[in-house]
Amino acid sequence: MADTPKIRVPKTAKKGEIIEIKTLMPHIMESGQRKDKDGKIIPRKIINKFVAEFEGKPVFSATLEPAIAANPYLQFNAKVEASGTFKFSWTDDDGTVTTAESKIEVA
């Protein structure tokens, strides 16, 4: 029952339109700087990389650092010329990659 990523991509767009994409990944983003009750460092566990692709081609990517708050929210724009699928992936420190997809119809 892991939390799934939330994404907002318009279902349709005009050719050449600049669309807004919103993504939110539920994640604790443990910085590795905090200590627990016994004074031991809580190990770092963050999403360190985010990539957005359109039909296999990179559109936007980000390297995330430990200072980023829980549940990282990223909003960016993309220009669409044809119908296709956006694919998003989030890479965890432990190697887990979570992905999500969204189709867009371009008229």
Handedness of CA 13, 14, 15, 18 (dihedral sign): negative
| Near other proteins in 43-62, by CB under 8 A | none
3 belongs to the binding site for other proteins (CB under 8 A) = yes
In the complex, the smallest distance separating the C-beta of residue 62 from other proteins, rounded to whole angstroms, is 17
Residue 85: which H helix or E strand, with range? strand 84-92
- Closer to other proteins by Cβ: residue 15 or 75: 75
C-alpha 101, offset from chain centre:
11
In the complex, the smallest distance separating the C-beta of residue 92 from other proteins, rounded to whole angstroms, is 18
